Structure 1
Amino acid sequence: MLNPMSVMVLFAGEYRRLVLWCPVLLALGALSYFLWPSEPGWELGLLLPAIVAGAGLGACLYRPHSLGVRVLGGAAMALAVGFGAAWSAAHRLPPMPELPRRGTELTGIIQDIAYFAASDRGGPPVRYVTLGQGVLHDFVNEGMPPLRRSLNIRLVPQDSAELGIGAHLRVRVLLQSPSFPAFPGGRDTQFEAWFAGRAGRGNALGPVQVEPAIPYPHQGFATHIIARLRQYVGARIRQVLPGASGTVVATLLDGKAEEVPRTVREDFAASGLAHLLAVAGLHLGIVMGAAMLVCRMGLAAWEWAALRWPCKAIAALAAWGIGGAYVLLTGVHLPAERSWLMSSVVVLGLVVGRRAVSMRGVALAATIMLLVAPQVVLDVAFQMSMAAVMALVAGYEVIHPRLLGWVGRLAGFGQTCARHAAMLALTSILAGTATLPVVMAHFGVVQPFFVLANLLAVPLMAVWIMPFGLLALLAMPVHADAPFLHLMDVGVRFVLWLAHGVAGWPAARIAVPAMPGWGLFAVLLGLCWLCLWQHSWRWWGAVLVFVGMATPWLVRQPDILISPDGQLIGVRDRGSLLVMGHARDEYTVKAAWAQALALPVTTFWSGGPQGVETADGSLICGEDEVAGTCTMLRGAQEVVLRVHDPSDGLALLPQALCAQASLVVSVAPIRQSCPDVSVRLDRFSAWRGGAQMVFLASGVQVVTDRQTRGERLWVLKPGGHGTPTLPLAQAE
């Protein structure tokens, strides 16, 4: 049993590693805010963290030579700062506006244009535009100031209007606020939209009317120029390489992955190559590495500069600038932004003559990101990138000396090949193993063959695809890019072939049930413990990692799922999820349910006259005197499901059907049906609480989305309502 003194001895032995826990504690502080059951006021969000941080700082100054006081005081400061930073980041954003529920005339300025693959059957890509400064022209919003959030609009396929960044657009649209989660604890698109500055999405109801581009749009001249440049690069690549491989080439050079066909994305995901489609550390590292190599060789070839200038530092700074330009060209996505920030620490180390890659550099980059954008603590890209980088740095600290010793016993060309192969395999194993639990938690899959696929795809990306891509970008202003794009396309086609082949292997993509939030927390905390410490007690973290990875099979699975609008009901059977009813976002909800339960989705019954039942008779539909009704027996619980009701609840369920029921679920209002049943769920309960999960193992237990997320800034009001855009009262 550890006592406080022995703990202090362990901390003293890891004295130089204590600072590495600063970003971890910042993340815990931010996480505590995001998981708070209700929105804290300024007293709890700012005043209390300031008091706690001040107390921690005062304790450290009062007892500067006490390790225990400094550890506790520093931890209190980091937790408080993380909580306060998250509160501030959430509250400085504009509220989510109330969007009209009917067709509305909309005007705005085009901030971005994206192309999505229309379908697997081919056809022209579907265009989406991101509109800023949107103005709604209806009787409620007429005369109101422009929206402070952007809108994503899907244009009609027949619309061939020439669009440009900064153009003023007018279109009639049907808008929709960000969707509610498909099940409690599922992906929260409202949270993502809140911090991304989005108000919602919509579908154009007709062709757009376009006015000339505004020379200096509201987002700034530099942003406007970069957006126009990205648009030009993407259009040029689509012109030279119109096929599926061209969409991958465009993704690597302009960062827009939306046009990549769904089948290609699925092959990349199943083979463990999905990271190649997300511009991040790998791509930035190749770009900066190639730039630094060319710059340093050029300076070394100039004898006068080689003798007098710090060529290594100059080449590193030049590569850093080129890497920043690549990040801007590809859209400043979070993974690329994090990688460029990490590369800044590496370049700083090279310039000042310190160790370039270290765990302190990783901690510094993570600290900056958590202070600037605390919401990244819940972002899958941040979790995966930090897990991979921590594992790589910690793994190389332990394994790299032994690996060099083994390779050193070889000679000649075999030594070079063995060194590169071993380093590549080690990198793939460390990064892939560290990100495996995060992939399980967010995507519900395991890819066993990711190492084999990456051993071939990553070297090809480094020595062929990306170098020719950089040459194509350099030659694009003079229209000499086509040869380089075609050479780049050769390598991309091989990667497509590799991804498709590996994805077709047996068990290439194994579905796993949803990991609970506390399971992912255990995994990440265990990974931090394993990577940030150096002594033997670091291996305690492996226990947390294994426990967290086992949680998908340790928690209870829901017996019944109800969609956010209450119109879709899913019943978990032995080998599949039986779905009944129809919902507005039916495809999205079904996909989320299938991923969460790791079960195939089967449309069981739609309420027609033909009855149906399961093989064991536990679910029987269409055999009672009331149309559109099913009865279900699960253990000691009898459930009545009303999946189709043309009367909208006016036709009451017979009392005989309700007599033994413990639960009644209806897609329509229940009204006065089954008044003696203790738990009744209908369209109105879904309207109030969002998506619902029902557990029947020990009584009837209902978990709602609103219970899980609480009353927060980003959680829309029942029915998906936002803040009305009402005018201020006129002064007398």
Structure 2
Amino acid sequence: MAFEPRQTSLGRRAAALSRSGLEAMESWLEQEREQIGLWVPIALGSGIAAWFILPHAMAWLAFCCGALALACIGMMLPDGGRLRRMLVAGAILACMGCLLVWGKATLLGQPPLTRARFVQMTGDVAAVRPVPAQAMVRVMIRPVDTPDLPAVVRVNIADADVPAGLGEGARIRFRVRLMPPAPPSVPGGYDFAARAYFQGIGATGKALKPVEVLTPSTAAPPLRARLFGHILERVDGPAEGIAVALATGDQGAIPEADAEAMRRSGLAHLLSISGLHVTALIGAVIFLLMRVMALSQRAALGWPLMLIAAAGGALAGIGYTLLTGAEVPTVRSCVAALLVLGGLAMGRDAVTLRLVATGALIVQLLWPEALAGPSFQMSFAAVTALVALAEHPRFRAFAAARDEGRLRKLGRNLAVMLATGIAVELTLMPIALFHFHKAGLLGAFANLIAIPLTTFVVMPLEALALLLDVAGLGAPAWWLTEQSLNLLLLLAHGVAASPMASLLAPTMGMGLFGIAMIGLLWCLLWRTRWRWLGLPPVLIAVAVTFAATPPDILVTGDGRHVAVRTGKGMAILRDRAGDYVRDVLSESAGYDGELAAIADLPEARCSVDLCAVRLKHGKGRTWRLLFTRSDVLIARQDFARDCAAADIVVSDRGLPRWCRPRWMKIDRRLLARTGGLSIGLEKGEVHTVHRPGDAHPWISRPRPRPRAAAP
């Protein structure tokens, strides 16, 4: 009895404080009672995120047990309180989210190829996607009579090597060097291996000629492919790629220069079929149906026009989603649009945060892996920011329609559009920093012109051109479409050319990103003044990211490409590296300039086989770096001497044991375990792509080669 809290004054005081704290919490939750349901998809998503962040099965089980333990603790709170229900429901949902994505990965994922292989392969074509911008065709193939290969392989075929009869259902034979789907080249890079795992792609490669067609395709090309080819024939120049993307969602015909300009200017969201395109189509269909039905007096007076128009818009949205390939962003936008239409048909205000939460919950239940991608995060964050801003009383009062002059009304509308654009840009900044290492600065201003131009000019003209093509009269409409798209590209290139278009930053850590997202959600989902407590974590995470010391050395996972930070910028080992490698290294280093060649540096001594660099850093210390540049064997006496004099040695081949640098030896054996590396010389920090013990199923682990039996 002596240990009972009620038997001492200290215990009574603690109990009183806990009761007052619980009462204050319950009072606050009562004020926010309408917002509590918005945290349901957040709780489910926390479990999904935990599965991606934690490394292996024991950690996933520990998270599930911890979530259930939190639910048990919640049951100990006073009965009937909102906090109790929130803790119990949230913990159970978090456990369900982890088990959901874990189960899908186990049952439906495609394990990657264990190691690179050169094979003669025969397979059935499952899908064909032309990529004119890269002069190739991307083919999904199901290998035949090769149980040691993955169920689905993605192969690129050059346009010059594409045989007649290639299409869905064809059987082809060719030689190819298959590779496991590529992991990130450097820490913080794009992880294609994880995406390919859930898409069912187990290997990738480039087909070598000749490509033989054993059984030609007899199926007619799908509607999307026919529409793709039709638009390419009707539109000329750079605008053709944008026109195809707006109609089909396929960006394969957009040149890289135009795609990069759209990204830097903050207009890349116009290229992927998402909420803007689906909403514009559904709105146009509803508008036309309402006007056509209003021509009939009987329909106008006796029919439920809004219900009929909403049903027509829903059918149009579903058809457009299927036409564009039913990608996850399009399906997500279609689901949200259908929820809005359902609310409008019932006469309710459907554009609320509950709509956004419902859409996010549906997507997470069907495609839990989408949570880890930038598309899901950016689209739902943008929509949440827009709806939260629209629900704010002061903004709603400012944006409300009123009786005023045209000039004043136009100014008010422009101010509303600018405010929403700035809100979206600020909301998306942490997500863009984490995934792309850059943040847009002028996107809000570019979208003031680009969104109305696309919604009210480009898309209606393109739809009219396609409609007139039925009668062979679409040429004038296609010309107008091409000119409007050229104007859009001119805007994108003009904004992208500005040095203020985007701001690069070093890689944002997972912890900082989590802090920023929690702060953002806290600001956007609550309504009382306590919501602003989420703002400091966001500002701190972004400030720390920009203030972080960028890496001094970057090494790709194959060891072939190395970037070094010098006093005048960044330099790359192989100056013939492609644009993709250069972009990856520049973005990961937070560097927005041209990569020079290491061989041209005054502090470097390079031959055909080796490069030795003296790099001054920090408090006057000089680091000696040694890189190999070829596969030629170097005399042991010379190479051993150079290795012993170097602090860091980097090579894309396995180095002998007698190569002993002072600090770190990075060769093929080490990179097979770690993946790409980023090194900070000031503090001696080394970050790797692969974490120790990471057991996610898309990580390719080469198996040891079987040894021949002893005679």
The answer to whether TM tops 0.5 is: yes
> In structure 1, what is the equivalent of residue 694 of structure 2?
710
Structure 1 residues 243 and 664, CA gap change in structure 2 (3 angstroms):
closer
> In structure 1, what is the equivalent of residue 117 of structure 2?
101
**For the residues of structure 1 that align with 2:705 and 2:514, how far apart are their CA atoms?**
33
CA contact (8 A) 1:96 1:722 kept: no
> In structure 2, what is the equivalent of residue 167 of structure 1?
170
Could you list the per-position Cα deviations for residues 287-311 of structure 1 after superposition, in whole angstroms to 9, with x for gaps in the alignment?
0110111111222222212222221
Say yes or no: does 1:670 pair with 2:655: yes
Structure 1 residues 666 and 172, CA gap change in structure 2 (3 angstroms):
closer
Q: TM-score, normalised by structure 2?
A: 0.87
Look up the equivalent residue of 1:243 and give its one-letter code. Answer: G
> In structure 1, what is the equivalent of residue 139 of structure 2?
130
> In structure 1, what is the equivalent of residue 83 of structure 2?
68
Q: What count of residue pairs does the alignment treat as equivalent? A: 683
Task: Measure how far apart 1:237 and its partner are.
Answer: 1.0
Structure 1 residues 667 and 113, CA gap change in structure 2 (3 angstroms):
closer
> In structure 2, what is the equivalent of residue 30 of structure 1?
48
1:233-382 map, 5 Å: 233-382=227-376
CA contact (8 A) 1:254 1:330 kept: yes
1:324-723 map, 5 Å: 324-398=318-392, 399-404=394-399, 408=402, 410-411=404-405, 413-414=406-407, 417-418=410-411, 420-581=413-574, 587-599=579-591, 600=593, 602-605=595-598, 613-614=601-602, 619-622=603-606, 628-635=611-618, 636=621, 638-644=623-629, 646-648=631-633, 651-652=636-637, 662-675=647-660, 677=662, 679-698=664-683, 700-707=684-691, 710-718=694-702
Task: Measure how far apart 1:64 and its partner are.
Answer: 5.6
Look up the equivalent residue of 1:81 and give its one-letter code. Answer: M
Task: Measure how far apart 1:313 and its partner are.
Answer: 1.7
Could you list the per-position Cα deviations for residues 336-365 of structure 1 after superposition, in whole angstroms to 9, with x for gaps in the alignment?
221111112111211222211010111011
Say yes or no: does 1:113 pair with 2:116: no
**For the residues of structure 2 that align with 1:116 and 1:376, how far apart are their CA atoms?**
27
Task: Measure how far apart 1:247 and its partner are.
Answer: 1.7
> In structure 2, what is the equivalent of residue 86 of structure 1?
101
Q: What's the RMSD between the two structures over aligned residues? A: 3.3
Q: Which runs of 5+ in 1 are unaligned?
A: 119-125, 136-141, 217-224, 607-611, 725-732
Task: Measure how far apart 1:377 and its partner are.
Answer: 1.4
**For the residues of structure 2 that align with 1:540 and 1:62, how far apart are their CA atoms?**
25
Say yes or no: does 1:10 pair with 2:28: yes
> In structure 1, what is the equivalent of residue 11 of structure 2?
none
**For the residues of structure 1 that align with 2:481 and 2:95, how far apart are their CA atoms?**
49
Structure 1 residues 114 and 18, CA gap change in structure 2 (3 angstroms):
same
Of 422-431 and 84-93, the range deviating more from structure 2:
422-431
Task: Measure how far apart 1:261 and its partner are.
Answer: 1.2
**For the residues of structure 2 that align with 1:671 and 1:590, how far apart are their CA atoms?**
30
**For the residues of structure 2 that align with 1:707 and 1:524, how far apart are their CA atoms?**
23
CA contact (8 A) 2:650 2:666 kept: yes
Say yes or no: does 1:179 pair with 2:177: no
**For the residues of structure 2 that align with 1:532 and 1:76, how far apart are their CA atoms?**
19
Structure 1 residues 646 and 574, CA gap change in structure 2 (3 angstroms):
same
Structure 1 residues 425 and 387, CA gap change in structure 2 (3 angstroms):
same
1:531 alignment partner, SS class: helix
> In structure 2, what is the equivalent of residue 727 of structure 1?
none
Could you list the per-position Cα deviations for residues 240-297 of structure 1 after superposition, in whole angstroms to 9, with x for gaps in the alignment?
1132112211111111111111221122222221111111111111101101111112
CA contact (8 A) 1:180 1:190 kept: yes
Structure 1 residues 255 and 207, CA gap change in structure 2 (3 angstroms):
farther
Structure 1 residues 485 and 613, CA gap change in structure 2 (3 angstroms):
closer
Task: Measure how far apart 1:388 and its partner are.
Answer: 0.6
**For the residues of structure 2 that align with 1:675 and 1:508, how far apart are their CA atoms?**
46
Structure 1 residues 627 and 368, CA gap change in structure 2 (3 angstroms):
closer
> In structure 2, what is the equivalent of residue 155 of structure 1?
158
Of 276-285 and 442-451, the range deviating more from structure 2:
442-451
Look up the equivalent residue of 1:690 and give its one-letter code. Answer: G
Structure 1 residues 312 and 149, CA gap change in structure 2 (3 angstroms):
same
**For the residues of structure 2 that align with 1:491 and 1:654, how far apart are their CA atoms?**
61
Task: Measure how far apart 1:506 and its partner are.
Answer: 4.4
**For the residues of structure 1 that align with 2:161 and 2:174, how far apart are their CA atoms?**
14
Identity rate, percent: 26
1:205 alignment partner, SS class: strand
Look up the equivalent residue of 1:129 and give its one-letter code. Answer: R
1:543 alignment partner, SS class: helix
**For the residues of structure 1 that align with 2:74 and 2:508, how far apart are their CA atoms?**
39
**For the residues of structure 2 that align with 1:494 and 1:722, how far apart are their CA atoms?**
57
**For the residues of structure 2 that align with 1:671 and 1:710, how far apart are their CA atoms?**
28
2:209 alignment partner, SS class: coil
Of 547-556 and 29-38, the range deviating more from structure 2:
547-556
**For the residues of structure 2 that align with 1:55 and 1:525, how far apart are their CA atoms?**
19
Of 596-605 and 157-166, the range deviating more from structure 2:
157-166
CA contact (8 A) 2:649 2:665 kept: yes
> In structure 2, what is the equivalent of residue 220 of structure 1?
none
CA contact (8 A) 2:125 2:141 kept: yes
Look up the equivalent residue of 1:641 and give its one-letter code. Answer: L
CA contact (8 A) 2:32 2:526 kept: yes
Structure 1 residues 505 and 181, CA gap change in structure 2 (3 angstroms):
closer
**For the residues of structure 2 that align with 1:572 and 1:722, how far apart are their CA atoms?**
37
Look up the equivalent residue of 2:113 and give its one-letter code. Answer: P
Look up the equivalent residue of 1:500 and give its one-letter code. Answer: H
> In structure 1, what is the equivalent of residue 38 of structure 2?
20
**For the residues of structure 1 that align with 2:642 and 2:615, how far apart are their CA atoms?**
11
CA contact (8 A) 2:141 2:155 kept: no
Task: Measure how far apart 1:326 and its partner are.
Answer: 1.1
**For the residues of structure 1 that align with 2:307 and 2:253, how far apart are their CA atoms?**
39
**For the residues of structure 2 that align with 1:531 and 1:130, how far apart are their CA atoms?**
42
Task: Measure how far apart 1:98 and its partner are.
Answer: 4.3
Look up the equivalent residue of 1:16 and give its one-letter code. Answer: E
2:335 alignment partner, SS class: helix
Could you list the per-position Cα deviations for residues 558-596 of structure 1 after superposition, in whole angstroms to 9, with x for gaps in the alignment?
22222211222222223422222589x865333211011
Of 370-379 and 512-521, the range deviating more from structure 2:
512-521
Structure 1 residues 485 and 630, CA gap change in structure 2 (3 angstroms):
same
2:462 alignment partner, SS class: helix
Q: Which runs of 5+ in 2 are unaligned?
A: 1-16, 707-711
Structure 1 residues 261 and 663, CA gap change in structure 2 (3 angstroms):
closer
> In structure 2, what is the equivalent of residue 219 of structure 1?
none
Of 542-551 and 186-195, the range deviating more from structure 2:
542-551
CA contact (8 A) 1:53 1:81 kept: no
CA contact (8 A) 1:116 1:259 kept: yes
**For the residues of structure 2 that align with 1:57 and 1:338, how far apart are their CA atoms?**
34
**For the residues of structure 1 that align with 2:60 and 2:625, how far apart are their CA atoms?**
46
> In structure 2, what is the equivalent of residue 209 of structure 1?
212
2:698 alignment partner, SS class: coil
